C-alpha cells in the first residue's frame, strides 16, 4: 500500500502544478473578493463614507432619534435599550440638531417620536432626498421595533415576558414516526439539509473535477507511454487507488478553497448587511454518513472513470465516454421532486440502491429526512460491493488494455477479458 501513497502524492503535486487547476482554484476566491469589494464600495458610497470612516460604519449602525413622547411621568419613553444588535440608537434633543447629524453622515437613519406617541403611535422617519430610486429601504426597521417594544414594556412586565414579546417564539420542528414516537434526529431538519445538501453538491462537483483529472491522468500516461513503466512497478489496483486518493484530495482542496472563500464572503458581507439568523445544529452522525456516501460515491464513479481512461486511446474519446458514467451518477438531481414527495417510493428506493445513482439519491433523501435506517444500510452495502466490483473490473481491464496504443478494444473483447478468457 506504500506505493499507493507514493502515487497519490505524485498525482496531487502534479495536478497542483497544472496552470488550469490553479486558475480553477483561484476563480471562486477572486470572484468572491471582487464581489466583496463591490459591496464594500456600494455600502461606503451609500453611507457617504468612502474615506477611512467606512471601516467604523461596518461595525455599528448609528440611528438617531428625537423622543418628544410623553410618558406617564411626563418624561420621554425611549431612554433605555439603545444598543440593539449592531444598531445603536442615538438620542437628540430636537429635530433640527438630529437632521444636521443626518446630513453630516453621523447617523444613517432618523426617527422622531411624536408627543402623542402613546395614543397615536406616530413616528416620523426623516430621510435625505436623493435623485433616483431609494434602493437601500429601511434597513433599521427590525432594530427599531425591538427598541420601541423593549422601552414600552420596561418596568411593566417581568424581564422574561418582555423578551418573549420582543421575540415571541423560536421555532423548531419535531417529527414523529407512524407510531407517534419522536424521531431521533427530528430536530435537525435544517442542519440535515445543509450537511447532505453540501456533500451532495461536493460529490457532484468532485465527479466533474477530480473525475476529469483522473481520466486526464490515465490517458496522458497512456499517450506518453509512461504507463508501461508504471505497471511494471506498481500493481494496477494500487495505481488506481493512488490516483483516486491523490486526485480526490485535489478535488477536496478545490472544494475547500471554494467553500472557504464562500464562507469568508458571507462572514464579511454579513458584517455589512443584515442576514437572517439560521438555526444550525451540528450533527456528527449526519456528517459521518454524508462523508461515507461521498467517499464511496467518489470511489465508485472515479474507478469507473479510471477504467474508461484505461481502455480509450485519447483524452477526447475518454471525455465523450465518461458522460455515460457521470450523467447517471448525477441523474437523481432530476428526480428530486420524486425523492422529496415520495421518499419511500419505488423510484426513490431503486435510485438509492443502484450503486451509480445511490450516493446522490440517498443524500437528497437524507437531506429531506426520507430515508430509514434499513434503506441506508442496504444502500451502503450495495455501494460498497459496487466499489469492490469496480476496482476488480478496472484492474483487469488495466492489465489487458492499458498497453494497447492507438486502438480501442471492442465491448465483446472487454467482456471476454472480464470473464478471464
Partner 1 sequence: MTSVAAMQPAVRAVGLRKRFGNLVAVNDVSLSVSPGEVVGLVGPNGSGKTTTIRMLLDILRPDEGRVSIFGADLTAQATEQIGYLPEERGLYRGLRVIPTLVYLARLKGMSQQDALDRAGEVLSRLGLEPHQNKKIRELSRGLGQLVQLAATVMHKPRFLVLDEPFSGLDPVNVRLIKDFIAELSGESVAIMLSTHQMTDVEELCDRVIMINKGSVVLDGGLAEIRRRFASGELFVASRPAPEGLEGVIESRADGAGHALRLAVGQTPEGVLRQLLDRGASIDRFEPATPSLEQIFVRVVKEGRG
> Which CB, 185 or 237, lies closer to partner 1?
237
Please, what is the minimum distance in Å from the beta carbon of residue 251 to partner 1?
20
138 binds partner 1 (CB under 8 A): no
Q: Which range, of 5-13, 112-120, 181-189, 359-367, touches partner 1 by CB under 8 A?
A: 5-13
- Contacting residue, 280, 282, 324, 405, with partner 1 by CB under 8 A: 405
* Residues 54 and 43 sit within 8 Å (Cβ to Cβ): yes
> Which CB, 24 or 139, lies closer to partner 1?
24
Cα dist from 41 to 36, 158, 275, 392, whole Å: 9, 44, 19, 57
φ, ψ for residue 317 (rounded to 5)?
-65, -40
Please, what is the minimum distance in Å from the beta carbon of residue 382 to partner 1?
30
Please, what is the minimum distance in Å from the beta carbon of residue 53 to partner 1?
51
**159 burial type by CB count under 10 A (0-12 exposed, 13-18 middle, 19+ buried):** exposed
Return the residues of window 205-234 that contact partner 1 according to CB under 8 A.
Answer: 223-226, 228-234
* Residues 205 and 296 sit within 8 Å (Cβ to Cβ): no
8 binds partner 1 (CB under 8 A): no
314 binds partner 1 (CB under 8 A): no
399 binds partner 1 (CB under 8 A): yes
346: number of Cβ within 10 Å: 9
The rounded distance, in Å, linking the Cα atoms of 203 and 329 is 10
- Contacting residue, 46, 86, 146, 235, with partner 1 by CB under 8 A: 235
290 binds partner 1 (CB under 8 A): no
DSSP 275-322: ---------HHHHHHHHHHHHHHHHHHHHHHHHHHHH-SSHHHHHHHH
> Which CB, 399 or 408, lies closer to partner 1?
399
33 binds partner 1 (CB under 8 A): no
Nearest Cα neighbor of 86 from 225, 328, 272 is: 272
> Which CB, 172 or 233, lies closer to partner 1?
233
- Contacting residue, 60, 173, 416, 418, with partner 1 by CB under 8 A: 416
* Residues 352 and 371 sit within 8 Å (Cβ to Cβ): yes
Sheet holding 83-84, edge to edge: 83-84, 87-92, 61-67, 109-113, 123-126
Q: Is 113 helix (H, G, I), strand (E, B) or coil?
A: strand
The rounded distance, in Å, linking the Cα atoms of 384 and 386 is 5
- Contacting residue, 6, 88, 295, 333, with partner 1 by CB under 8 A: 6
> Which CB, 225 or 271, lies closer to partner 1?
225
Please, what is the minimum distance in Å from the beta carbon of residue 232 to partner 1?
5
Please, what is the minimum distance in Å from the beta carbon of residue 4 to partner 1?
11
Please, what is the minimum distance in Å from the beta carbon of residue 254 to partner 1?
19
> Which CB, 228 or 279, lies closer to partner 1?
228
392 binds partner 1 (CB under 8 A): no
The single-letter DSSP state of residue 404 is: -
> Which CB, 194 or 247, lies closer to partner 1?
247
408 binds partner 1 (CB under 8 A): no
Please, what is the minimum distance in Å from the beta carbon of residue 220 to partner 1?
8
* Residues 67 and 113 sit within 8 Å (Cβ to Cβ): yes
* Residues 143 and 87 sit within 8 Å (Cβ to Cβ): yes
> Which CB, 120 or 232, lies closer to partner 1?
232
Please, what is the minimum distance in Å from the beta carbon of residue 406 to partner 1?
11
As separate numbers, helices (DSSP H) first and strands (DSSP E) second, the chain gives 17, 5
Q: Which residues of 165-188 are buried (b: 16+ CB within 10 A; e: fewer)?
A: ebeeeeeeeeeeeeeeeeeebbbb
Binding site for partner 1 (CB under 8 A): 3, 6-7, 10, 14, 17, 223-226, 228-235, 399, 403, 405, 413, 416
Amino acid at each position: 500500500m506504500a506505493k499507493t501513497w507514493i502515487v497519490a502524492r505524485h498525482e496531487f503535486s502534479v495536478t497542483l502544478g497544472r496552470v488550469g487547476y490553479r486558475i480553477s482554484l483561484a476563480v471562486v476566491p477572486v470572484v468572491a473578493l471582487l464581489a466583496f469589494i463591490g459591496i464594500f464600495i456600494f455600502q461606503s458610497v451609500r453611507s457617504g463614507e468612502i474615506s477611512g470612516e467606512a471601516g467604523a460604519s461596518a461595525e455599528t449602525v448609528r440611528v438617531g432619534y428625537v423622543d418628544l413622547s410623553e410618558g406617564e411621568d411626563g418624561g420621554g419613553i425611549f431612554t433605555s435599550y439603545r444598543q440593539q444588535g449592531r444598531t445603536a440608537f442615538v438620542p437628540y434633543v430636537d429635530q433640527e440638531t438630529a437632521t444636521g447629524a443626518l446630513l453630516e453622515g453621523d447617523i444613517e437613519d432618523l426617527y422622531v417620536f411624536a408627543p402623542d406617541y402613546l395614543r397615536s403611535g406616530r413616528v416620523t422617519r426623516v430621510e435625505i432626498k436623493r435623485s433616483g430610486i431609494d434602493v437601500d429601504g429601511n434597513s433599521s426597521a427590525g432594530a427599531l421595533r425591538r427598541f420601541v417594544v423593549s422601552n414600552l414594556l420596561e418596568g411593566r412586565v417581568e424581564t422574561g415576558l418582555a423578551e418573549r414579546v420582543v421575540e415571541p417564539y423560536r421555532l423548531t420542528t419535531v417529527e414523529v414516526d407512524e407510531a407517534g414516537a419522536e424521531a431521533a434526529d427530528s430536530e435537525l431538519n435544517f442542519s440535515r439539509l445543509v450537511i447532505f445538501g453540501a456533500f451532495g453538491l461536493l460529490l457532484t462537483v468532485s465527479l466533474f473535477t477530480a473525475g476529469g483529472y483522473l481520466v486526464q491522468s490515465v490517458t496522458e500516461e497512456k499517450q506518453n507511454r509512461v504507463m508501461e513503466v508504471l505497471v511494471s512497478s506498481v500493481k494496477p489496483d494500487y495505481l488506481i487507488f493512488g490516483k483516486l486518493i491523490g486526485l480526490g484530495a485535489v478535488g477536496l482542496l478545490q472544494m475547500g478553497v471554494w467553500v472557504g472563500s464562500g464562507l469568508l464572503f458571507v462572514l464579511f458581507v454579513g458584517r455589512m448587511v443584515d442576514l437572517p439568523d439560521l438555526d444550525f445544529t451540528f450533527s456528527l452522525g449526519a456528517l459521518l454518513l454524508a462523508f461515507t456516501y461521498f467517499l464511496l460515491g467518489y470511489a465508485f464513479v472515479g474507478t469507473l472513470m479510471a477504467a474508461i481512461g484505461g481502455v480509450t486511446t485519447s483524452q477526447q474519446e475518454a471525455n465523450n465516454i465518461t458522460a455515460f458514467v457521470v450523467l447517471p451518477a448525477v441523474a437523481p438531481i432530476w428526480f428530486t421532486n420524486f425523492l422529496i414527495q415520495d421518499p419511500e417510493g419505488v423510484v426513490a428506493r431503486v435510485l438509492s440502491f443502484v450503486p451509480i445513482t445511490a450516493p446522490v439519491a440517498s443524500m437528497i433523501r437524507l437531506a429531506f429526512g426520507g430515508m430509514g435506517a434499513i434503506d441506508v444500510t442496504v444502500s451502503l452495502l450495495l455501494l460498497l460491493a459496487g466499489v469492490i466490483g469496480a476496482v476488480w473490473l478496472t484492474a483487469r481491464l488495466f492489465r489487458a488494455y492499458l498497453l494497447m496504443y492507438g486502438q480501442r478494444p471492442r465491448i465483446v473483447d472487454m467482456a471476454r477479458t472480464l470473464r478471464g478468457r
